[in-house]
């Protein structure tokens, strides 16, 4: 299955709830990037392993995650 997780990085507050919720453990807070507000935004480290369950998006308090699948 091909899936795509898009994160609106500048709206992300780096709370990490998506990292906690992801069953495949493929999300992390960026170790290198800072966004406009100075937070480390969430990122997907292995898009190929994503099962498009949208757990990350459902737990995100700021609705910054969009999930699509083929």
Partner 1 sequence: MTTVFKKTPVLTDTVMHYCPGCGHGIVHRLVAEVIEELGIQDRTIGFVPVGCAVFGYKYFAVDCVEAAHGRAPAAATGCKRVNPNNVVFTYQGDGDLASIGAAEIVHAAHRGEKITTIFINNAIYGMTGGQMAPTTLVGQKTTTSPYGRDPEHCGKPLRVAEMIATIEGAAYVERVSVDSVPNIIKAKAAIKKAFQCQLDGKGFALVEVLSSCPTNWGKSPAEAMDWIKSDMIPYYPLGVKKDRTNE
The footprint of partner 1 (CB under 8 A) covers 3-4, 11, 13-17, 19-21, 39, 52, 54-55, 57-70
Nearest one of 16, 30, 25 to 53, comparing CA atoms: 25
Minimal distance, residue 32 CB to partner 1, in Å: 19
Minimal distance, residue 30 CB to partner 1, in Å: 14
Is the Cβ–Cβ distance between 55 and 29 less than 8 Å? Answer: no
Instruction: Measure the CA–CA gap between 51 and 30, rounded to whole angstroms.
Output: 21
Minimal distance, residue 33 CB to partner 1, in Å: 16
């Amino acid at each position: 299955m091909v899936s795509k997780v898009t994160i609106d990085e500048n709206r992300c507050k780096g709370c990490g709830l998506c990292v906690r919720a992801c069953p495949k453990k493929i999300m992390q807070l960026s170790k290198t990037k800072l966004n406009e507000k100075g937070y480390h935004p969430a990122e997907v480290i292995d898009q190929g392993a994503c099962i498009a369950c949208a757990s990350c998006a459902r737990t995100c308090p700021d609705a910054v995650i969009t999930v699509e699948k083929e």
